[in-house]
Chains A and B, each alone.
Chain A
Amino acid sequence: MAVSKDLVAASAAPMILSILAEGDSYGYAIIKRVRELSDGQMQWTDGMLYPVLHRLERQGQAESYHQASETGRKRKYYRLKKDGSKALAQHKEQWMLVHTTLQQLWEKNACLT
């Protein structure tokens, strides 16, 4: 089952923030984590992750630093900032609200059928 484009776009920021809340990370690792968690069902166009990361950085929710990777190439890591944690908390509330609302509706419908 492919998740619709709109939903992917809407969930990108909370997902990235949640992954960064686990610890500093970089683009490729973030994508890999999303793929693992969703069993490969969340198909992002990989490159689209970066504009989202850059936006978070600009909004002061994340910050970046460079560190050499195993291959010796410079890699850009992202770290969650205080504002990012705050934003993540808000995202959580909103998503939970949507989730419980839908769940109640679907449970009701399940009784009717």
Chain B
Amino acid sequence: MSNVEKHIDRWRKGLSQSDAFTGGDIGELENHLREEIAVLQRRGLSEQEAVLVARHRLGDTSQLAEEFAKVDGGRRAMQHLSSMAMGVLLFLLASYASNGISRGGVWAGAMFGLNGYTLGGIGAGLRILTVISLLLFGWLILRSWARSQPVGASGGMSVPQAILWFLVAVLLAGTTIGGELLFTAATVRSLGVAEYGRACLVMGYARFAWTILTPILAAIVFVAAGVHVQRHRRVCDNV
């Protein structure tokens, strides 16, 4: 790859980081950049000079992104909306699944003859662990899915794709909720109601603590992400 190609490649990657540009926008700007570079080179500028002048004339990426976003604000809003919907779906699925898995753990513990308090601890711990790891796992899957989309794709999905996701979600939710019920029934049968009540008590306390802690954790993550993005943006602007 020549230097010009490498430079254009890096520049194109910079643009595709922003959701303001569609694949078509980037192609159009790239054509412009290439044409300008060719003209400047014909006028006797070196490869590097031509690239620098052409890029300068085209304008800096963040400024362009701002202008492009103004024209097509609707598409951006849809993109945000669809990622929000994905987030909500992911959260629901992760919490159903973690309920199912934690009840499974409690049932297995009961089979080993553990007492109600220990089982409650196991249930609560499993629930928190699985919800965190499922969220992380789901997020990784969603991210790799988003990255596999062509540059600047609309960000939404086609109807068959949406139906497929919906069916998968319903199936997962159904299985985990069903599993939770079956495991709970089996546990109650083997432990007896009183011992199971103790397990529920511990899980209830843990749930209470978790309910208070999660928003705090979420707030910390939001603030950290905000600081990170701002720092990243400053670095990009300086390049």
Contacts and interface: CB of A to CB of B under 8 A. Distances in A.
Contacts of A55: 71
A51 B67 contact: yes
Contact of B32 (A27, A51, A71): A27
A45 B36 contact: no
A46 B63 contact: no
A23 interface: no
Contact of A48 (B25, B35, B36, B64): B64
Contacts of B68: 50-51, 54
Chain A interface mostly: helix
Contacts of A47: 29, 32, 58-59, 63-64, 67
A58 interface: yes
A69 interface: yes
A76 B31 CA distance: 9
Nearest to B69: A51
A74 B71 CA distance: 23
Contacts of B28: 27, 50, 76
Chain B interface mostly: helix
Given A46-B57, A47-B59, A73 B64 contact: no
A46 B59 contact: yes
Contact of B36 (A46, A51, A58, A75): A46
Number of chain B interface residues as a range: 20 to 34
Interface string A93-110: 000000000000000000
Contacts, number: 54
Interface in A12-41: 26-28, 31
B63 A45 contact: yes
A70 to B, nearest CB: 10
Contacts of B226: none
Interface string B53-84: 00001110001100110111000000000000
A28 B25 CA distance: 14
Interface string B13-52: 0000000000011011101101110000000000000000
Interface in A56-82: 58, 69, 71, 73-76
A73 to B, nearest CB: 6
A66 B58 CA distance: 21
Nearest to A27: B32
A51 B67 CA distance: 6
Interface of B: 24-25, 27-29, 31-32, 34-36, 57-59, 63-64, 67-68, 70-72
9 contacts: A28-B36, A45-B58, A46-B32, A46-B36, A47-B32, A48-B64, A50-B25, A54-B25, A54-B71
Interface of A: 26-28, 31, 45-48, 50-51, 54-55, 58, 69, 71, 73-76
Given A47-B63, A50-B29, A71-B34, 11 more contacts: A26-B31, A45-B58, A46-B59, A50-B28, A50-B32, A51-B67, A54-B25, A54-B71, A73-B31, A76-B24, A76-B28
